[in-house]
Each structure stands twice: as C-alpha cells, then as structure tokens.
Amino acid sequence: MTEASLEVQLSGGIRRIERALARHPALTGDLNQLIYPVNLPPLQIGSAGLLDLPDMLGPKLGKWWELFYVVAYGYSAGTVTVYRNSSLGEELFSFSSAGIWEPSHRYLQGASDRLVFTASGLTGTASVTLGAVEIDASILGLHLL
C-alpha cells in the first residue's frame, strides 16, 4: 500500500466519522446545555455534625455527576467522613486531616445518589467542597467514550 493510497483511505474514514457525528442527536444541540461544571460553594460542618443536603450534594433527576475531587479543610484535628446516600450507607473515604480526595477511577453518581458528610472530634469547623461535572443522562454514554 502506498503512502498516497493510505492517505486517501484515512481521509475517507475521517469524513465518514465526521458525517456520523454531525447526525448524532446529542451533538446537534448545544452541549453546554447537557454537560457543565457543578459550582458548589464551600459548606460547613460543626465539630460533631452531619451535612446531608440532597438538593446540593447530588445530581437532579435525569442527570449524572462525574466527581473529580472532594476537599475538606479548615480544621486541625478530627475526622470528616464521606458516605453515599446516608451516614449509615457505604463509606467512600475519610479525611483524618484537611486534604483532598481524588478518585482513582471514574466516580459517577446517579440521580438517586448523594454525598453525605459527617464530622467527629473536630477542632474548628470543617469546610467541604467538590469538583464535578453534571451530565444529562441522554449523553452519558457519549461522555464515557
């Protein structure tokens, strides 16, 4: 196979992919309406508190979150623990001091999920925040490609 024929085949394949993507329903609209950053202000937890805000700490119906990091700061001793859905539920991770948690793999949260924070033995008040994107369920598969 010559270099010229390889170039023709590659450019033909690229054009077919471009045409297919242009017809994809999820790509014909404004993707900024379907995937966008989650802007969560820092939230505070007292020395032996519980932070469970379903409307703020999880995606809305028809949406998914991809979580990139969780930060706990502002305290010098004690533990902040993060759970899925309930303080009696699955423990995701614990901060024994201020810090940042970054998942080692893609961490997705569906509309039925939320993060719940507990604090114990804190010196000071902990603040928590997170970095995530909210993805419309209609393009979740495309997002995961």
Tens-digit pLDDT profile for the chain (145 aa)?
Answer: 677 676 767 777 777 777 766 666 556 567 777 888 998 899 999 888 999 999 899 999 999 999 999 999 999 899 999 999 999 989 999 999 999 999 888 899 999 999 999 999 999 899 999 999 999 998 888 888 7
Same domain, 40 and 99: yes
Same domain, 13 and 45: no
Determine contact, residues 117/19, Cβ cutoff 8 Å. Answer: no
Same domain, 93 and 130: yes
Determine contact, residues 143/135, Cβ cutoff 8 Å. Answer: yes
Q: What does pTM read for this prediction?
A: 0.78
Determine contact, residues 45/125, Cβ cutoff 8 Å. Answer: yes
Same domain, 121 and 57: yes
Same domain, 23 and 38: no
Give CA angle at 105 (103, 44), nearest 5°: 20
